[in-house]
Structure 1
């Protein structure tokens, strides 16, 4: 993980940039970090240590504000419409690039479009894991899918909402395995995990951060990964690709955005702040403990990454079709 030379030079030269706040003055006021889901989900797990690091850098409060609703659409749109002054940023999940396409399936204008958001920094990108209660009867992926085949629609799984980052991977698996699962959407990954732990549902596709403590304490079992390679510490967990499900690969990523019209000098300071945060020992330790790997990509590199993911997942959304 290397911070680009451009980020470093941008941060050093900002004080001289026309119209920019002096380095010692930025941001001068609290910077709100919006998470479009309730506490406890992957975006929240990533946002909190990063926000704490930004507070130490900037010496202002960086409160994490949870704005759940509509699978993340409400919180994402609030940042898209926010003043472009650097004082409001979004810690988004990968679903940020999917929700506008999903809205079009309903024949309605999206609450926001991607060109209203400026990519600042990708922070993490983790393969999704299939988690079930430790008391569940399935010890392997094969047992889970065989049961789903015998009992169409009888195995409920939770998600963070229709077309969300926790819904799409399960839809991909169900289509590839030719099984029918019962989708139970919630307003975020935190409530979806609570439903799994409380026995309301029997499966969940999740980023590693939220479920890691419950896997360690023996409450949850991981049956499979949507990644390309085995995960450190969970090497025994098979990937869906290794089980013959070609193309069933999904990563839940967390990245920071600002309103699109944010001036470049301010955006440069924001990017530099995130670049420093991912090298902060406290952030690295927190995300490592949560099982999330830092995958830092700044500005244009993040924009290219997100655009490629949007194009790939648009096909998944179209395959799922309209959910009434």
Structure 2
């Protein structure tokens, strides 16, 4: 592994961090990460292909799932190749502009994914609580509007982050805590007042992820109220249609909360914990989402079986 002197490297670059203390095993660590990346690409691409080729799957639930799969592919591809280059070829350096672009995409795509999860929760609410109006409420035009809102929302709230970082002067150390660039990590390396960054980041989290999680929770409270009035067989069928989405919500939000907690108590946690939580947040959801939907969603599962037959 190449040793870096923080006071002598190019000031227009940052240094990504591998796994401290495990530098000799980086090549082996890269193997499961590479397999995860391939599973994420193949699994989500299969979901996209199956939904596109099966007219029976051109429904709001599956169209939202296709958007989720596309975002997972983009999120994994934005970060994983650079991580693999770091682990296999000791390419630790990333340019300032490259780091800012990666940061913008990580936060923007995460916001878009959270928006799609809210839309999926609303779809389940309408399908269970008001099934007769489901097709009239969730029309193709409104689904297109959801996609536009997700993109605008992600770009609008993550757009200021590169400018907030670029205005900051940095200290001699520019070694990041992760093998990728996120706002909280870059902000901690600055030698100036980061209060505007803190306020904006906290406001964005509360207005976006906080409200999204509340809306998803509210949707499932309404679903539970409706399900409790159904027969046992009908309620079981209704719950089965929600299991995949609930799993996707937990897969997305639990690592997000865990990473936020690690950054909040940075002084008390080890560097390896930072890296592990960051990797789980970025790499686990794209791998698990197609597996969960492939196993738990009957139409997807049957389409996969027919595809291989």
Q: Same fold (TM over 0.5)?
A: no
Q: By percentage of residues, which structure has more strand?
A: 1
TM-score of the pair, normalised by structure 2: 0.28
Structure with greater Cα Rg? 2
TM-score of the pair, normalised by structure 1: 0.27
